[in-house]
Amino acid sequence: MRRRAVPRLRDVGEHAWLARLTRRLAAMPASPSVLVGPGDDAAAVRAPRGTVLLTTDALVEGVHFRAGWLTPRALGARAFLVNASDVAAMGGTPAYALLALEAPPATPIAVLDGIALGVAAAAGGAGARLVGGNLARAPRLALTVTLVGTAAGRVVTRTGARPGDLLFVTGVLGATGLAVRRLRAGGHGRLPAPPLRLAAGRALARVAHAMLDVSDGLVQDLGHLCRASGVGARVDLARVPVAPACRRAVGAAAARFAATAGEDYELLCAVPPARASAVARLGCRVTCIGEAVAGPPHVALHEGGRPVQVTRGGWDHFR
Ligand SMILES: [Mg+2]
């Protein structure tokens, strides 16, 4: 029995695929703020009111994911959500997304469709719109989403933490870092989707002195916040919210693992104690893990009062 050949990018070609994708995107519910959507030389949108946020992030095959780790739809959604996480960390709201795709000629059309529609669906779920992009031939699959967001209120950065601020983190940590390590080792499993912390980000922006999202690892990202703010930090590992799957798999070392694993896309912020009661009403889990302290920008970990050393605080692409 002959199997039907899978249509690939080289069979269909750039222009025919883009034309078909453009028609599919145009069939999605219209947005009054998008004047010209995908398919023209550039998108045209109504200028957002307030402060405009801009961010971009890439997912590269062989670096951020491997074939088979995620469905194409989940991969597209992930590319959008990691950008939405950066917008959330500023206290903003996503508005317009661009998708730059790189793909080898042998890439199945179904994979490209899944990725593009995954980005469009995740954008729609966050109140945003995929308005354009690009497709280029490359030796491996890669997707770069550029996201335009808005901030109606105050934009919160990494720079304002003060000694005495309480450090809070949303959600739980370690589940995705664990899944990545299992998949890298050839195991099976599912890569959890990054959380969408937009409402939490906007609420925290009203009370936090400083905020960022945990992408590389809690300890490493907290180090970025400390350096930007000129403060130190003390973190009690026993208070780090560890994902149940991570606790089951890693056991006694779970908190240490979760604090350095990365890929969590939760929000980490420094809040003055007088405003800490506002943090309890976020609509998602939020945990106080320690405090900012005066001194050099060092993250001191302890567990039950005893100091704990970790060899690496998180992920670095080039080390
Ligand atoms: Mg970030």
pLDDT at 124 over 60: yes
pLDDT at 6 over 80: yes
pLDDT at position 1, please? Answer: 57
Token digits of residue 228: 């930007």
**C-alpha span between 130 and 25 (Å, rounded):** 8
Higher pLDDT, 270 or 280: 270
**C-alpha span between 166 and 293 (Å, rounded):** 9
Q: State pLDDT tens for residues 176-221.
A: 999 999 998 998 888 999 999 999 999 999 999 999 999 999 999 9
Alpha carbon of 272 to ligand 1 centroid (Å):
22
pLDDT at 315 over 70: no
Higher pLDDT, 139 or 318: 139
Alpha carbon of 68 to ligand 1 centroid (Å):
26
Token digits of residue 19: 């034309």
3-state helix, strand, coil in the chain (%, to 5): 35, 30, 40
Q: What percent of the chain clears pLDDT 90, i.e. is strictly above it? A: 85
Alpha carbon of 143 to ligand 1 centroid (Å):
17
pLDDT at position 305, please? Answer: 85
pLDDT at 267 over 90: yes
Alpha carbon of 88 to ligand 1 centroid (Å):
9
Alpha carbon of 202 to ligand 1 centroid (Å):
15
pLDDT at 311 over 90: no
**C-alpha span between 83 and 61 (Å, rounded):** 17
Q: State pLDDT tens for residues 13-59.
A: 999 999 999 999 999 888 899 999 999 999 999 998 889 999 999 99
Alpha carbon of 92 to ligand 1 centroid (Å):
13
Alpha carbon of 116 to ligand 1 centroid (Å):
23
Alpha carbon of 17 to ligand 1 centroid (Å):
32
Alpha carbon of 89 to ligand 1 centroid (Å):
7
- Nearest residue to 104 (alpha-carbon basis) of 142, 152, 161, 56: 142
**Long-range contact pairs involving 10-17 (C-beta distance under 8 Å, separation at least 24):** 10/105, 10/106, 11/109, 12/109, 14/135, 17/109, 17/112, 17/135
Q: Are 201 and 286 spatial neighbours (Cβ–Cβ below 8 Å)? A: no
Alpha carbon of 235 to ligand 1 centroid (Å):
20
Q: Are 117 and 111 spatial neighbours (Cβ–Cβ below 8 Å)? A: no
Mean per-residue pLDDT over the chain, rounded: 94
pLDDT at position 281, please? Answer: 83
pLDDT at 150 over 80: yes
Alpha carbon of 84 to ligand 1 centroid (Å):
9
pLDDT at position 30, please? Answer: 84
pLDDT at position 316, please? Answer: 65
- Per-residue DSSP letter, 252: G
Q: State pLDDT tens for residues 61-82.
A: 999 999 889 999 999 999 999 9
Alpha carbon of 65 to ligand 1 centroid (Å):
18
Alpha carbon of 215 to ligand 1 centroid (Å):
6
pLDDT at position 304, please? Answer: 83
pLDDT at 268 over 80: yes
| 291 beta partners | 166, 234
pLDDT at position 318, please? Answer: 59
Band of pLDDT at residue 2, cut at 50, 70 and 90: low
Alpha carbon of 189 to ligand 1 centroid (Å):
25
pTM above 0.85, yes or no: yes
pLDDT at position 155, please? Answer: 94
How large is the average pLDDT for residues 223-241?
97
